[in-house]
């Protein structure tokens, strides 16, 4: 790939020289008019190839998304100037990595201090994570009893324990009404709500879990950039700092 970039300059420079040579008498060029035309055509094709390669390798502009977040679970100050939204799959190992290694620091240094507000949305990948949809609904069932964030913490840290019995047991440790919680999950009370999140994630171009939207807070939600896949804490700090400086 670097070879093409280095070769581009001398090859492109040859094109106008060849064009000039084609206008000279044959005794000056030593080639026929047909040969000159063939060389020029080859050079044009090479230039087009190099330009196409350069465009392919050019940095892509970040994908942007605007979200209406009214009614979704939020952590932090509603007046925080920056908003971070996570579309998560509770059975996804990369989501667990974010939860265990990054989220706690973000919460302590940015969410709890009023600098960032955090929203949790669902993106269960049913085809590879059979317990993810159940967990997504369990989070909403816990919210019915005011325990969304604590249940989210438990599920985020224990992505291998998302079967119904383990979820009910976790609800018991949170002093929840386990009968109501179980019934909420078994009747799939929030199946359509979870599906709405999935459809919105697809609409904004999410192709991985976790997917984040990080940007300036708006009266309705957020206007920001998509970040796909988990990132180190330092990268989130860097991106938040950019928003603070604008």
CATH number of the CATH domain containing 232? 3.40.30.10
Q: Which of 39, 57, 75 is the last residue of a domain?
A: 57
Looking at the fold, whether 117 and 160 belong to one and the same domain comes out as yes
Looking at the fold, whether 103 and 198 belong to one and the same domain comes out as yes
How much is the pLDDT for 106? Answer: 97
Report whether 79 contacts 240 (CB < 8 A). Answer: no
Looking at the fold, whether 41 and 158 belong to one and the same domain comes out as no
Looking at the fold, whether 43 and 70 belong to one and the same domain comes out as no
How much is the pLDDT for 244? Answer: 78
Looking at the fold, whether 45 and 139 belong to one and the same domain comes out as no
Residue for token pair 């919210």: 143
How much is the pLDDT for 201? Answer: 95
Looking at the fold, whether 16 and 97 belong to one and the same domain comes out as no
Report whether 131 contacts 124 (CB < 8 A). Answer: no
Looking at the fold, whether 99 and 140 belong to one and the same domain comes out as yes
How much is the pLDDT for 41? Answer: 73
| Count of the separate structural domains present in the chain | 2
For the ranges 4-8, 13-17, 49-53, 83-87, which has the lowest average pLDDT?
4-8
Looking at the fold, whether 210 and 144 belong to one and the same domain comes out as yes
Report whether 198 contacts 192 (CB < 8 A). Answer: no
CA-to-CA dists, residue 40 to 12, 26, 43, 54, 235, angstroms: 11, 16, 5, 21, 48
- Using the Cα atoms of residue 76, residue 82, residue 84 and residue 85 in order, give the sign of their dihedral: positive
Closest CA to 227 of 217, 218, 236, 219: 236
Q: Which of 57, 79, 100 is the last residue of a domain?
A: 57
Looking at the fold, whether 143 and 82 belong to one and the same domain comes out as yes
How much is the pLDDT for 107? Answer: 97
What token pair was written down for 31? 């080639």
How much is the pLDDT for 60? Answer: 53
Looking at the fold, whether 41 and 91 belong to one and the same domain comes out as no
For the ranges 43-52, 53-62, 67-76, 235-244, which has the lowest average pLDDT?
53-62
Mean pLDDT of 59-84: 89
Q: SS3 for 122?
A: strand
Question: How high does pLDDT run on average in the chain?
Answer: 85
What token pair was written down for 232? 């180190």
Q: SS3 for 65?
A: strand
How much is the pLDDT for 8? Answer: 34
Looking at the fold, whether 30 and 81 belong to one and the same domain comes out as no
Residue-number span of the structural domain to which 94 is assigned: 64-245
Looking at the fold, whether 23 and 132 belong to one and the same domain comes out as no
Q: Which of 57, 74, 94 is the last residue of a domain?
A: 57
What token pair was written down for 186? 């078994």
């Amino acid at each position: 790939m670097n070879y093409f970039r280095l070769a581009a300059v001398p090859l492109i420079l040859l094109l106008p020289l060849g064009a000039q040579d084609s206008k000279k008498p044959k005794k000056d060029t030593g080639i026929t008019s047909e040969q000159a035309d063939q060389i020029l055509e080859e050079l044009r094709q090479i230039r087009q190839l190099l330009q196409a390669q350069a465009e392919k390798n050019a940095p892509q502009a970040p994908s942007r998304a605007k979200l209406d977040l009214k009614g979704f679970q939020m952590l932090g100050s509603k007046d925080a100037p920056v908003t971070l939204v996570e579309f998560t799959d509770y059975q996804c190992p990369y989501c667990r990595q974010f939860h265990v290694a990054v989220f706690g620091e973000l919460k302590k240094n940015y969410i709890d201090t009023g600098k960032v507000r955090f929203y949790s949305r669902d993106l269960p990948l049913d085809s590879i994570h059979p317990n993810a949809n159940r967990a997504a609904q369990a989070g909403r069932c816990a919210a019915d009893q005011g325990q969304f964030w604590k249940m989210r913490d438990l599920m985020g840290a224990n992505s291998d324990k998302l079967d119904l019995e383990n979820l009910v047991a976790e609800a018991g440790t949170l002093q929840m009404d386990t009968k109501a919680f179980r019934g909420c999950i078994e009747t799939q009370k929030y199946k359509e709500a979870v599906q709405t999140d999935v459809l919105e994630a697809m609409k904004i171009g999410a192709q991985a879990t976790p997917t984040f939207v990080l940007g300036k807070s708006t009266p309705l939600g957020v206007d920001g950039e998509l970040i796909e896949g988990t990132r180190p804490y330092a990268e989130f700090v860097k991106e938040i700092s950019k928003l603070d400086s604008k």
